[in-house]
Structure 1
Amino acid sequence: MKNINIPFNKPYLTGKETSYIKDAVTTGKISGNGKYTKLCQDFFEQNYGFKKTLLTTSCTDALEMAAILIDIQPGDEIIMPSYTFVSTANAFVLRGAKLVFADSRSDHPGIDEATIEALITPKTKAIVPVHYAGVACDMDIIMDIANRYDLFVIEDAAQAIDSYYTSKDGIKKPLGSIGHLACFSFHETKNIISGEGGLLAINDDQFIERAEIIWEKGTNRSAFFRGEVNKYGWVDVGSSFLPSEIIAAFLWAQLENLKDIQSRRKQIWNNYFQQLKFWANENEVRLPKIPLYATNNAHMFYLVFKNSEKQSHFIRQMKEHQILCVFHYLSLHKSEFYKSKHDDRNLPLSDKYTETLVRLPMYYELKQDKVIHNILNNA
């Protein structure tokens, strides 16, 4: 963007992405499910304990696979937050589901867990919590509700790589390992990137075999390559969810450097918090809150202002000093698409975050002194 010295995001390269891509190309196997796909999937299964993982071309595709796996039918109802990206909703709308939006929490933009149970009807099929900013929803509450009403839980963990939830019994669990299914993103704005890319994590044995078939365009080709069947054919619905080895090779270079990337991002996040907390208090600006049961993976640092006028003023002031700060989601229940098909919903906290939340620049190579200086002196 013209006259922007500090962008909102800048993709970080570890230095090995192109060499791994070259290696993938020279092997002659670039269509996917090869060496680098297996390295990436093994990494997630071994480090986070997911029963089965499948790389996808995006988190959107992982969500669409999840919708197929739980057999969404027209008229099924899905509970999810309104304050989320449209992909969370589209995956289920594409299969005919009705969206039932929940409001955000007063202390955090994530779903208000206390409102979920009242939204359940005989048509409810699943709950889709979104771990906003990589900060865990209260999964004890959500899983208890799901178990009592026999519902599926699909964690939208697009922003939540390497983040954890501590249950009431004191067990620390990686986000994405708690629900029946979970979906991650490796879009260039995320902590770990591959340009576009995603991952489906499967934690329930009943979905493992079918997931692989859906992933391979509805065929049992993976079983064929393992020597489990003599021929492969069309056995189920599916699509082209499997990414190329080029994407997987790029991602592997990132995963090898996960600890370093996370350490740097947390350093930036903590510096924002320490340097801005007094300014925020004096100006009635709210900083991010990390609940005791959650960890911080430093995906995002945001400010919550008193009203939309202060939000807009801050964004303009920072842009004048060549720093790009941005708002986040527009509440999905207020969208033209949703309003035309459903009754109006009153979700004041979701709307509040739309009108008051601002995200600060956040990336590995960020020199944040200028950002902090301009906030303290010009915002």
Structure 2
Amino acid sequence: MIRFNVPPYTGKEMDNMKKAVESMHICGDGEFTKKCSKFVEGITGTSKCLLTTSCTHALEMAALLCDIRQGDEVILPSYTFVSTADAFVLRGAKAVFVDIRPDTMNIDETLIEAAITEKTRAIAVVHYAGIGCEMDTIMDIARRHNLMVVEDAAQGIMCTYKGRQLGTIGDFGCYSFHETKNFSMGEGGALLIREPEYIEKAEILREKGTDRSKYYRGQVDKYRWQNYGSSYLPSDINAAYLYSQFEVADKVNEARIARWNQYYELLLPLAEAGKIELPVVPEGCVHNGHMFYIKTKDMEERARLIDFMKGKDVLTVFHYIPLHSAPAGLKFGRFHGEDRYTTRESERLLRLPMFYQLTEDETAYIAGCVKEFYGA
């Protein structure tokens, strides 16, 4: 069986993890945590990167730094993972869902402004499959209405929008290093902070509400409880695993993009024949090969294709169930405007296997199976 995902492994992970153990510093903010943060800051140019225990926790930190409170509203797409909404709902906000664009599966930037009310405090965008949202328009809306922007760039590390790294355009950006992502530490994430004025507050928030980070830097002689906070620091063992992949980041990215391009080339005849639809990468967007999906005619055809592929020993999976139709979505949110595309497109989308170790032969076999299903 060709799995849908295999966690990335480059060969140096065990050596780095051994070094972390031998350093006798396996809690947070050890040598490898610092190396990972410096790497992200280097490739993105962000003011500060704080490694976290998950992208979920990075989003929760972003919501706290945005000062989201009871009764506030946050605009976001319904086609996303629950963590995007959870981070704000936990602060007492209402999730206001708007429709997506059918080409990129990202939030439709032309529908955001109409969803703004006097209670709106932030816009949370999701860069689906590492393809950037239309950030120029979104940032203009945010500036004119004095709103914060949080980028859920869980899938978007090393992706750009008009030359700018995803996660660095809004006020805060959030990356995921879950085992399904291009770079992994099992469970983990990162918070990117654009404006330096938020760095100290974020450090305190991440260190249980203390100024422990300043203490470690020798800026204070003892650390104290300064504000509310929690423990968002990953173990340095996890960071050691992640840094092994950062050391060969370009190699990992190039391998995934090569497989993405191979899928696209092999399946293009099916798309040209009107059998399926392929991903769209708008001009100005550079992706990282995180995901390759196709769109079938409808949900029934997709179910038949999933079964067919399973019979060929290939695991293919669909993705998000729109949040606005879920029990919690009905309780904590509302859909603004018409759901023209969110539900319809979510029912057609099917993801093909994509991981660092996927071979050229396996990719050709998978694409061949899809073509066989459609009689091509």
Cα 1:344–1:292 change in 2 (3 A) is: closer
Q: State the distance in 1 between where 2:72 and 2:335 align.
A: 19
For the pair 1:43 / 2:39, whether they are aligned, the reply is yes
Residue 181 of structure 2 aligns to which amino acid in structure 1? Answer: K
- Name the SS for the 1:269 alignment partner: helix
Q: State the distance in 2 between where 1:344 and 1:230 align.
A: 51
Provide the aligned length of Structure 1 versus Structure 2. 370
For 1:300, the equivalent position in structure 2 comes to: 291
- Name the SS for the 2:265 alignment partner: helix
For 2:187, the equivalent position in structure 1 comes to: 196
For 2:260, the equivalent position in structure 1 comes to: 269
For 1:376, the equivalent position in structure 2 comes to: 371
For 1:140, the equivalent position in structure 2 comes to: 136
Cα 1:347–1:37 change in 2 (3 A) is: same
The two structures have a TM-score, normalised by structure 2, of 0.96
For the pair 1:285 / 2:280, whether they are aligned, the reply is no
1:342 to partner: Cα distance = 4.8
For 1:87, the equivalent position in structure 2 comes to: 83
Q: State the distance in 2 between where 1:340 and 1:215 align.
A: 29
Q: State the distance in 2 between where 1:243 and 1:107 align.
A: 36
Q: Which of 343, 360, 365 matches 2:357? A: 365
Residue 377 of structure 1 aligns to which amino acid in structure 2? Answer: E
For the pair 1:223 / 2:219, whether they are aligned, the reply is no
Residues 245-298 of structure 1, C-alpha deviations (whole Å, 9 max, x = no match): 001111110100110000000000000000001022324311000000211211
Structure 2: 5+ residue stretches without partners: none
For 1:250, the equivalent position in structure 2 comes to: 241
Please list every run of at least 4 consecutive aligned residues from structure 1 whose deviation after the TM superposition is greater than 3 angstroms.
340-346
- Name the SS for the 2:155 alignment partner: coil
Q: State the distance in 2 between where 1:365 and 1:247 align.
A: 20
Residue 213 of structure 2 aligns to which amino acid in structure 1? Answer: S
1:206 to partner: Cα distance = 2.2
Residues 172-221 of structure 1, C-alpha deviations (whole Å, 9 max, x = no match): 11111111100000011111111111000000122111000001111001
For the pair 1:211 / 2:202, whether they are aligned, the reply is yes
Q: State the distance in 2 between where 1:340 and 1:117 align.
A: 23
Q: State the distance in 2 between where 1:263 and 1:108 align.
A: 22
Q: Which of 17, 21, 24 matches 1:21? A: 17
Q: 1:227-242 counterparts in 2 under 5 A?
A: 227-242=218-233
Structure 1: 5+ residue stretches without partners: 167-171
296-305 or 264-273, which deviates more: 296-305
Residues 49-102 of structure 1, C-alpha deviations (whole Å, 9 max, x = no match): 010010000000000000111111001100010000000010111110110001
Does the 8 Å contact 1:102/1:111 carry over to 2? yes
Does the 8 Å contact 2:63/2:91 carry over to 1? yes
The two structures have a TM-score, normalised by structure 1, of 0.96
- Name the SS for the 2:294 alignment partner: strand
Does the 8 Å contact 1:138/1:293 carry over to 2? no
Residue 370 of structure 2 aligns to which amino acid in structure 1? Answer: I
For the pair 1:68 / 2:60, whether they are aligned, the reply is no
